[in-house]
A and B are shown apart, each in its own frame.
Chain A
Amino acid sequence: MSDSKIKITNLHKAFGKKVVLDGVDLEIKRGESLVVIGGSGTGKSVLIKCIQGILTPDQGSILIDDEEVVGVSEKEKEKLHSKMGMLFQGGALFDSLTVWENVAFGLIENQKMDRKNAKMEAIRVLRQVGLAPDVADLSPSELSGGMQKRVGLARAIATRPEIIFFDEPTTGLDPIMSDVINDLIIESVKGLGATALTITHDMASARKIADRIAMLYKGKIIWQGTVKELDKTKNEYVRQFINGSSQGPIKVEV
């Protein structure tokens, strides 16, 4: 077995005439935490959805554990999904279920754990992300934004996935809560020994959780390297992005 967990080669995806991914090449090693940075609308979410099989790419290959996942059957996809967890940008908690039922969803529906044990496990994971057991019976709409993110994280890690995706994990949170979430992400990823792929445009968060950073621009990976290399790079696109400047080679289309 090679040491690459996810290997993406020449990935293309367009919606009508709008080309979103234009030949993405990216490799994520086993147990590594890779952060993909890039402006809004550069196709970061599309990239994740292609890897998960929610979107089908037009061209290219995605290998997970050295197995091709583009174009596999629904059944294979379901099997694939049981290896994955995902923290959604808006939480995407099921509002018809309670907090603990959300966290235990994968355990009950797929791992066929009985409800009593699943609830105990859910409470354990909730505690791990810093939530008291008494939130377990609340409905997700009763929680604050930061707490919803924590529940989303708990749901993503409850099934002990090998790969975890984080979609803008700190968007909409205050800086301190962002850092708390960053710590929790690092803790839970390392705790599980999972491979993590995060997409974000929050540079503070990217620096903190990344082993390696890649920048997506105009549908291609234009730069990748470690956090240290990030600060030394001469790549003007990257420099403009990390400095948050409106002046530079990246033009914002209004």
Chain B
Amino acid sequence: MIEKFLRKLGKPLVKFFSGLGSLSIFIIRSVGNCFIPPFYVKNLLRQVMDIGFYSLPVVGLTTIFAGMVIALQSYSGFSRFGAESAVASVVLISVTRELAPVLSALMVAGRIGAAMAAEIGTMRVTEQIDALTTLSTNPYKYLIAPRVVAGVLVLPILVLIGDVIGIYGGFVVGVYQLGFNPANYVKATLQELEYLDVITGVVKAAVFGFIISIMGCYNGFKSKGGAQGVGEATTNAVVSSSILILIFNYIITGMFFSK
């Protein structure tokens, strides 16, 4: 009876820890190969375009509506105790610290994490990764490193752009819908602007970029068994990176702001 129970418990546990082990080895190898030549600059630039440039519309739309909604919500909430004037600073803080990094990262995880897992997974099941190896090209250097480096570099830039767009969204709602004086709104925003808020957002973005690339590549790299395996890898990449983004968002916030 007890033995049966333990067995049932043991199997997923062993699976979990062996998965964690293989992920750790994968991360160490990937990161190591980011610093060892040869570097595939062309592949890196392609990833920068894919992750960065082509994500701009998604990130722009996400952050502008996030900023707009925060302006509305905080106005209606704060008007209960006559603190409407805080709208500008609430928009600023919530966009730079939380909304721009987290929402952008989640959107990019859906867009890019899935694409990476699908592309690398297909390369795995059609033996293209083995083909790279037999052409004496290290797949970690050729495939993984450019994606990881691009993710870490590009997400912060995306988030900085998202910050500006999100704050602009708040400004638009504040001025045209809620009737704030534009000059005063801008002044209030600039007064409240603190480097730390922006910097935490950027640090978060870099970590999220790493998570998205690593989870996308890892799931693709380890996928097996044809179309179904690739589909599974894609799902796992998006789900695992989204959850990790939310967890690490909490951890990093704690590191910066808890006293």
**Which residue of chain A has the shortest Cβ distance to B132 in the bound complex?**
A94
Question: Mostly helix, strand, loop or mixed at chain A's interface?
Answer: mixed
Question: Mostly helix, strand, loop or mixed at chain B's interface?
Answer: helix
Which of B38, B126, B128, B133 contacts A54, CB < 8 Å? B133
**Which residue of chain B has the shortest Cβ distance to A158 in the bound complex?**
B135
Which of B127, B135, B136, B137 lies at the interface centre, i.e. has the most chain A CB atoms within 10 A of its CB? B135
The interface residues of chain B lying within 8 Å CB-to-CB of A105 are 135, 137
The interface residues of chain A lying within 8 Å CB-to-CB of B127 are 88-90, 92
Residues of chain A from 110 to 127 with CB closer than 8 A to chain B in the complex: 110
**Do A92 and B138 form a contact, CB below 8 Å, given A52-B133, A54-B133, A81-B133?**
no
Decide: B128 and A94 in contact? CB cutoff 8 A.
yes
Shortest CB distance A96–B (Å): 8
Shortest CB distance A7–B (Å): 20
Decide: B135 and A109 in contact? CB cutoff 8 A.
yes
Which of B38, B123, B134 contacts A81, CB < 8 Å? B134
B45 at the interface (CB under 8 A from A): no
The interface residues of chain A lying within 8 Å CB-to-CB of B131 are 86, 88, 92-94, 155
Bound complex: CA A109 to CA B131 (Å):
13
Decide: A106 and B126 in contact? CB cutoff 8 A.
no
Decide: A54 and B137 in contact? CB cutoff 8 A.
no
**Do A74 and B138 form a contact, CB below 8 Å, given A92-B127, A94-B131?**
yes
**Which residue of chain B has the shortest Cβ distance to A79 in the bound complex?**
B136
The interface residues of chain A lying within 8 Å CB-to-CB of B123 are 94
Shortest CB distance A53–B (Å): 8
Which of A84, A92, A93, A95 lies at the interface centre, i.e. has the most chain B CB atoms within 10 A of its CB? A92
Bound complex: CA A217 to CA B142 (Å):
37
The interface residues of chain A lying within 8 Å CB-to-CB of B119 are 96
**Which residue of chain B has the shortest Cβ distance to A90 in the bound complex?**
B126
Q: List 11 A-B contacts (CB under 8 A).
A: A54-B134, A74-B138, A78-B138, A80-B136, A92-B126, A92-B127, A92-B128, A96-B119, A109-B38, A109-B135, A109-B136
The 6 tightest CB contacts between A and B, nearest first, are: A81-B136, A92-B127, A92-B131, A86-B134, A78-B136, A106-B135
Interfacial residues, chain B to chain A (CB-CB below 8 A): 38, 119, 123, 126-128, 130-138, 142
Beyond A81-B135, A86-B134, list 10 extra A-B contacts (CB 8 Å): A52-B134, A79-B136, A81-B136, A84-B134, A88-B131, A92-B127, A92-B131, A106-B136, A109-B135, A159-B135
